[in-house]
A and B are shown apart, each in its own frame.
Chain A
Amino acid sequence: GENVEQHPSTLSVQEGDSAVIKCTYSDSASNYFPWYKQELGKRPQLIIDIRSNVGEKKDQRIAVTLNKTAKHFSLHITETQPEDSAVYFCAAIATDSWGKLQFGAGTQVVVTP
């Protein structure tokens, strides 16, 4: 089955700096890679996703890159703000396993003013 590894487990950045979170996956059949942001006591909220036919996707200060050959994908947050502080999860799934998202262990991001 799919195995997703996520690094780092914690990330402290100064406000205005960039944050990068990296994930690797094992199943070459995985073709959809969402990223979720979870604040304490809240639900995971989809912030961006990428499909395997695309190498990069950007939405304002958030971007995701995918390297299918190396089986890794990354989340980039630029110009970080205190409200970006949360736990971020990457996930991977193959369309024939739809709904069975395999999550990474999460990255606790702390943005200090």
Chain B
Amino acid sequence: NAGVMQNPRHLVRRRGQEARLRCSPMKGHSHVYWYRQLPEEGLKFMVYLQKENIIDESGMPKERFSAEFPKEGPSILRIQQVVRGDSAAYFCASSPAKGTAENTIYFGEGSWLTVV
């Protein structure tokens, strides 16, 4: 059973370019979460998605960032017109359902974005 799959693992973008990060949840998981980890900091929640729905985007910056989880295919976190401050590790996580005692949230290996 493959875990949460993220790609690319490392991405370098010049200022002003776009970054697209992809996440495939664990098999059987329908809930996807994106977190951002700035250098030497903890993880900060960005967005919670289910298939074709954004459930909670309270942690997303108001501009340049968007996320989707289409009916088919992986979840995508998109950052437009990247700036140096976007350099961070972006972690995707998934869970099978919401709020049950058996739920555990599993993280992918992360995508490290460097903006030069």
Contacts and interface: CB of A to CB of B under 8 A. Distances in A.
Interface stretch (B61-69, B73-81, B99-107): B99-107
Given A104-B42, A105-B41, A44 B107 contact: yes
Nearest to B44: A103
Interface in A92-113: 95-106
Interface residues of B, number: 29
Contact of A89 (B42, B55, B109): B42
Contacts, number: 63
A99 B101 contact: no
A61 interface: no
Interface in B93-116: 93, 95, 98-101, 103-110, 112
Interface in B31-76: 31, 33, 35, 41-45, 48, 55-56, 58-59
A49 B106 CA distance: 12
15 contacts: A34-B104, A42-B110, A43-B107, A44-B107, A46-B107, A95-B98, A95-B100, A97-B56, A98-B103, A99-B48, A99-B56, A100-B45, A100-B58, A101-B35, A105-B41
Interface of B: 31, 33, 35, 41-45, 48, 55-56, 58-59, 91, 93, 95, 98-101, 103-110, 112
